[in-house]
Structure 1
Amino acid sequence: MKQNTYLIADSGSTKTDWIVARPGKSPFRFHSGGLNPFYQKKEEITVILEKEVLPYVTTPVDEVFFYGAGCADKATSRPIYDALVDALPSAEIIEVASDMLAAARGLCGHQPGITCILGTGANNAFFDGTHIVHSIGSLGFWLGDEGSGSYLGKTLLVHFLQNELPEDLHKQFEEKYPGTNRLAVLEKVYRQPFPNRYFATFSHFISKNITHPFIHKLVGDAFTLFTEKYILKHQDVDKYPVHFTGSIAFYYQEILKSVLAEKGLIAGRILKSPMETLFDYHLQRDL
């Protein structure tokens, strides 16, 4: 029985995790820039594939599973799909699906549960063990993404610009990000690409100061808002584990677990990336 070679990708707006895998052999992992068809055209995606992906793919690939932010359906994910078809002509199967499905398959396996993403962006879904059957739709970082890195960074930045930070934090912020003022920020977020990534860069400041009462409350309030706006709207939410993936959920998981406990929810797995378990999910079919 032929053992296929897989190329599996989990892409957010900031970066993409890749694995070249074959049953019985150690997987090869690497990273590239984020690929999001909402922000990038096929030509831009092709450039990243050629420069940052293909040099690491040294053997023919049989099946490609690309999971990414902005890949909600066939129409929206078309730029990614077309770029992959051109870049990997040996692939017999190319599937492009949402990063939400990657999180669900990676965290839940074949069991039902609620899966959430808290990275640069935010999302949620109820997974029945096979399919995503319900999701409280994300409105993106301008209108939603509560609890995400971009939301936390945007909230912190607004507090700074409106002189609402405690004096010690305000001074630290000025030293860390000199030249940050209203006009500079408006230029970044309204005239330059990927404003969500720009906002998310301030999460480093949040991480450094996470024990400060103001910052701790800022993160807790954001997680509470995410829980109320999304998780609690799922039916029978208290009967299923609530899983999370993403750097924000992973690094601030103690605050996150506290919020879930306050709401009477069952905390499930909290992983920085679903890639390890997603790798197992796909290779099970060849074992």
Structure 2
Amino acid sequence: MILIADSGSTKTDWRLIDANGKISQAKTIGFNPYHQSADDIAARLREELLPQITSEVETIHFYGAGCSTELACQTVKTALHQVFSDSRVEIYNDLLAAARALCGHQPGIACIVGTGANSCLYDGREIVDNVPPLGYILGDEGSGTWIGKQLLNHYFKRAMPEELQKPFEKRFTGSVGEVLDHVYRQPQANQYLAQFSRFAFHHLKHPWVAQLIYEGFSQFLEKNIMKYENYQRQPIHFTGGVAFYYANILRQVANDRGIRVQNILESPIAGLTLFHQSS
């Protein structure tokens, strides 16, 4: 049996492919080696994943947020070996998950636009170029975190349209001090900021909100995609909740710049399953 994982900080989607090619699925909490030890991860795997596994696992392909350094990858590998001692374990970062899910074995540009934002140039086998996303403070243009920051900035700077201020206050109550405490003192500030982007989705028919999303995607394309060599000739694909739910605006922004967008997926797990079935 092959076990495939697409893991974020909040949830993990698992796919199991048995010897006959039958596919089943499972879900657990997310794992991030920057915030959890190998023992902690192993304990949650035993508690949440093992009861959903009915056959012996031969190979594990784990794609995870935070799996970008050798130390982080080793933490996850150690945890998986504690639970699946006889399995071969391969650890990859979430950007390669996007590339393989979106492009398969073909070259292209793969993008993640969800809570954060990232992109890469993929040659059909591996990532060959990556414009650094720089995280939610310095980058992540167009992401849920970026949208949340813009909404909060415009609200507290009294630049949000008056007809949106009351609905915003009703949905998200909090003083300047409380917001600043969450952003500068509490952990996972990126996820805190990204939650405000839901307001934009529910008010997308308002021209000001639509323009805000348009501007975020414009910045993402200009500062990331348009920096890759021959980007106009590359098929460009997206995964992530923000790209998926604002797909119409994303395609419009790309079209206005002569950029060809193909696949837009909410999650890479289905594409990853197809990739490993054909490998």
TM-score class, shorter-chain normalisation, is over 0.9
Q: 2:81 is aligned with what amino acid?
A: V
The alpha-carbon deviation at position 25 of structure 1 amounts to 4.5
Match of 1:280 in 2: 274
1:24 aligned onto 2:20 = yes
Distance in 1, matches of 2:103 and 2:70, equals: 24
The alpha-carbon deviation at position 22 of structure 1 amounts to 1.8
Distance in 1, matches of 2:251 and 2:49, equals: 36
Q: 1:20 is aligned with what amino acid?
A: L
Paired residue for 1:177, among 154, 172, 179? 172
Aligned pairs (5 A) from 1:11-160: 11-91=7-87, 93-160=88-155
Which runs of no fewer than 5 residues in structure 2 stay unpaired?
none
Paired residue for 1:161, among 125, 134, 156? 156
The share of aligned pairs that are identical, in percent, is 42
Paired residue for 1:242, among 232, 236, 244? 236
**What's the TM-score, normalizing by structure 1?**
0.91
SS in 2 for 1:77: helix
The alpha-carbon deviation at position 74 of structure 1 amounts to 2.0
Distance in 1, matches of 2:52 and 2:226, equals: 42
Q: 1:64 is aligned with what amino acid?
A: I
Q: 2:254 is aligned with what amino acid?
A: L
Q: 1:186 is aligned with what amino acid?
A: L
The two structures, once aligned, show a CA RMSD in angstroms of: 1.6
Change (3 A) 1:128 1:68: same
Greater alpha carbon shift after TM alignment, 151-160 vs 236-245: 151-160
Distance in 1, matches of 2:201 and 2:120, equals: 27
**What's the TM-score, normalizing by structure 2?**
0.94
Distance in 2, matches of 1:150 and 1:52, equals: 29
Count of equivalent residues = 279
Distance in 2, matches of 1:31 and 1:161, equals: 38
Distance in 2, matches of 1:59 and 1:45, equals: 21
1:255 aligned onto 2:249 = yes
Contact kept, 8 Å, 1:13 with 1:197, in 2: the verdict is: no
Change (3 A) 1:282 1:45: same
